[in-house]
Amino acid sequence: MRKNDFGSKKSHSEPGPGDGGKTGSWRVVRPVIDLKKCIPAKTNKMACFACWLFCPDGVVTRTIPPEIDYEYCKGCEICAEECPVDAISMIVETTLIKEEK
Ligand code: SF4
Ligand code: SF4
């Protein structure tokens, strides 16, 4: 059995990130979490985690603050849709690539 590095902090044990390859290369928009709005980040409590629960690829951690593994996040926007406080913005990748250069 392949080792699952993400263990109990992920919504799915199997299949896990990477089973479909490095799906992050598909992404045209990147989810970015605003930690000033994110409930667990703001309150320091293990609350909400809708992004972790609904991410179909299991690439969001159930940690304070939640973190997204961009190697495998394919930019489907489900996390942004499900976040109850609109803490996740979808940013066009080309904008970020220009900023990162
Ligand atoms: S769904 Fe939104 S508020 Fe909830 S943990 Fe994720 S980013 Fe934070
Ligand atoms: S955009 Fe989709 S794949 Fe990426 S973290 Fe959000 S729900 Fe998961």
Which residues line the pocket of ligand 2, CB cutoff 6 A?
31, 55, 57, 59-60, 68, 73-79
Per-residue pLDDT of 13-70, as tens digits, reads 555 666 667 878 889 999 999 999 999 999 999 999 999 999 998 999 999 999 999 9
pTM (2 decimals)? 0.82
Which residue, by CA, sits nearest to atom 3 of ligand 1? Answer: 38
- pLDDT of 2 over the 50 cut: no
Collect all residues with Cβ–Cβ distance below 8 Å to 56 and sequence separation of at least 6. 76, 78
Confidence of residue 1 (pLDDT cuts 50, 70, 90): very low
What is the predicted pLDDT for the residue at 26?
Answer: 81
Pick the CATH number of 7-100 from 3.40.50, 3.30.70, 3.40.1000, 1.20.120: 3.30.70
Chain centre distance of CA 39: 15
- Domain map of the chain by residue range? 7-100
Given ligand 2 and candidates 38, 60, 63, 90, which is best to mutate, with the most ligand atoms within 8 Å of its CB?
Answer: 60
What is the predicted pLDDT for the residue at 48?
Answer: 97
